[in-house]
């Protein structure tokens, strides 16, 4: 066998460029939508953003209109900048736009095939989503209220004895506790718990590898065969490190619950329910293996993705409270009026319109998934007189939809009052959930659980604490600037803040509060 030749490798890559270019430039009588023209073969490679892409998309929408088309290395991209366009494509034409593009970096290199949200549209995806939906639809999420309330109350107690530097860690722990107990009935031991560490590693890979255009292997799948030692293959070494964790991250807690059920020590959980169902079925071995994989993956998607978006949202809430103290005071005044010296529960929600408004504005202001998960056109399509080629990656720009100044005045500001009218929650204004959780058949099935976690955490914190910027050595509040990470899951960048008791009565209330059964 001849030794590896860089010259032959370069010719192979150029040949692939040319092949993709010819394949995706099939003539049609209809024009393509407007957008950056780019160059032959490479397209708009040099214009395509790989960090905070939603800001570049916004500039393109202002230049070309609310539907933008471009090519990068032969791959077609379609950007949708209004809710009307998103509904046209992802709702009314969902049959053609519910697929996912092939994701070599995420599925084949990092090894995230157990996350059904990444799977192509088809029977396997439908089966796993259906299984997940059975445990997180609106009529069942109220069974998790006690777990969510208890996690919020443990967080309130831990704040009393912690330093400000640990506030984010404690919040992260509280949400991880919630989802691990719901998914597996497992009690974790802080952020150093191996289950939490595994989940963080998976999410790191998902956020990094899921950003469109970041890795060439998603354009040239043959690159997945490049060895990690090859010069310039740092991406492969990163992928291998994540893959080492992903090989067992879904199976490890699931197998633990199986062992607990054998000896009768398993706590109630989604995993326990699914395993019991498997035991009650008399299925052939092949079907049983498939059903067990579905069950394991159902728990994994809750375990991996159930807390991260909520963590980012609560960090956004803390940031907003530091920068908008008047909104904080309004929320606290409503809580004081309704609660009268007790901690909040979910039954209080109808009486707390301003807290609900704060939840909605938190979702809207710094959108956690600013461009959501990408979709793909299954077949050629015609839309508004334009040709949409088969295989086009379609992105609904959630950030732009939730920052439309015609819908939300002063969209860059945190203003819960925009959702309030005559002292009540204003149902007429656009609910951020139309974009914050994705679109169409691919909308996040865990959105109701996430919304509940955000509500009870915000209400609980404001009932007994003030959130303020940290104090510097001169006794002045530290200046806080608004900035976020630029990946698939967008978090506020670290900032210094305090969570301090509102009064001695608040401290007593926190210490004397009881956990729900």
Binding site listing for heme: 444
Q: Is 331 helix (H, G, I), strand (E, B) or coil?
A: helix
Largest CA distance in the chain: 81
What is the rounded CA–CA span in Å between residue 398 and residue 320? Answer: 20
Alpha carbons 92 and 95: distance in angstroms, whole number: 8
CA distance 508 to 480: 31
The burial class, CB within 10 Å (0-12 / 13-18 / 19+), for 62 is: exposed
Closest CA to 48 of 266, 206, 262, 218: 218
Contact assessment for residue 476 and residue 448, using Cβ atoms and an 8 Å cutoff: no
Residue (of 323, 322, 302, 256) closest to 453 by Cα position? 302
| Distances, alpha carbon 166 to alpha carbons 131, 162, 266, 384, in Å | 36, 6, 31, 52
Binding residues: 444
What whole-number distance in Å separates Cα of residue 477 and Cα of residue 471? 4
- In sequence order, what are the residues at sequence separation of 6 or more whose Cβ sits closer than 8 angstroms to the Cβ of residue 474? none
Helix (H) or strand (E) holding 376: strand 375-376
Q: Are strands 465-469 and 497-501 parallel, antiparallel or unpaired?
A: antiparallel
């Amino acid at each position: 066998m001849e030794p590896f030749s860089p010259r032959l490798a370069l010719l192979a890559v150029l040949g692939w460029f040319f092949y993709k270019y010819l394949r995706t430039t099939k003539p049609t009588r209809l024009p393509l939508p407007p957008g950056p023209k780019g160059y032959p073969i490479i397209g708009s490679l040099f214009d395509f953003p790989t960090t905070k892409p939603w800001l570049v998309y916004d500039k393109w929408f202002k230049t070309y209109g609310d539907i933008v088309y471009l090519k990068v290395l032969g791959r077609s991209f379609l950007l949708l900048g209004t809710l009307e366009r998103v509904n046209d494509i992802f709702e009314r034409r969902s049959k053609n736009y519910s697929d996912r593009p092939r994701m070599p970096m995420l599925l084949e290199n990092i090894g995230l095939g157990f996350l059904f949200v990444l799977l192509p549209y088809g029977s396997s995806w439908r089966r796993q989503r259906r299984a997940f939906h059975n445990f997180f639809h609106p009529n069942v999420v109220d069974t998790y209220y006690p777990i969510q309330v208890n996690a919020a109350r443990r967080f309130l107690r831990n704040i009393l004895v912690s330093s400000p530097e640990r506030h984010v860690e404690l919040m992260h722990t509280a949400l991880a506790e919630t989802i691990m107990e719901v998914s597996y009935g497992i009690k974790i031991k802080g952020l150093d718990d191996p289950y939490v560490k595994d989940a963080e590693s998976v999410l790191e890979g998902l956020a990094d590898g899921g950003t469109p255009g970041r890795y060439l292997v998603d354009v040239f799948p043959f690159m997945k065969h490049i060895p990690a030692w090859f010069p310039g293959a740092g991406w492969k070494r990163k992928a291998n490190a994540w893959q080492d964790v992903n090989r067992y991250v879904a199976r490890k807690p699931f197998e633990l619950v199986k062992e607990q059920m054998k000896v009768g020590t398993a706590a109630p959980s989604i995993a326990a329910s699914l395993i019991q169902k498997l035991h009650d079925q008399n299925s052939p071995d092949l079907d049983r293996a498939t059903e067990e994989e579905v069950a394991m993956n159902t728990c994994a998607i809750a375990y991996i993705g159930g807390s991260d978006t909520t963590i980012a949202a609560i960090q956004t809430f803390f940031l907003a409270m530091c920068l908008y103290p008047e909104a904080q005071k309004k929320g606290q005044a409503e809580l004081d009026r309704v609660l009268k010296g007790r901690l909040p529960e979910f039954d209080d929600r109808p009486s707390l319109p301003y807290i609900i408004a704060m939840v909605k504005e938190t979702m809207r202001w710094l959108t956690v998934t600013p461009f959501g998960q990408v979709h793909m056109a299954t077949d050629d399509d015609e839309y508004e007189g334009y040709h949409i080629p088969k295989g086009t990656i379609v992105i609904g720009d959630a950030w732009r939809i939730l920052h439309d100044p015609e819908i939300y005045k002063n969209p860059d500001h945190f203003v819960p009052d925009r959702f309030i009218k005559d002292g009540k929650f204003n149902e007429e204004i656009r609910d951020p959930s139309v974009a914050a959780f994705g679109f169409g058949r691919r909308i996040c099935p865990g959105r109701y659980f996430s919304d509940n976690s955000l509500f009870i955490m915000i209400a609980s914190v404001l009932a007994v604490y003030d959130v303020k910027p940290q104090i510097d050595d001169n006794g002045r509040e530290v200046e806080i600037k608004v900035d976020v990470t630029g990946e698939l899951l967008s978090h506020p960048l670290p900032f210094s803040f305090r969570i301090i008791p509102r009064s001695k009565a608040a401290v007593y209330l926190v210490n004397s509060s009881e956990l729900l059964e």
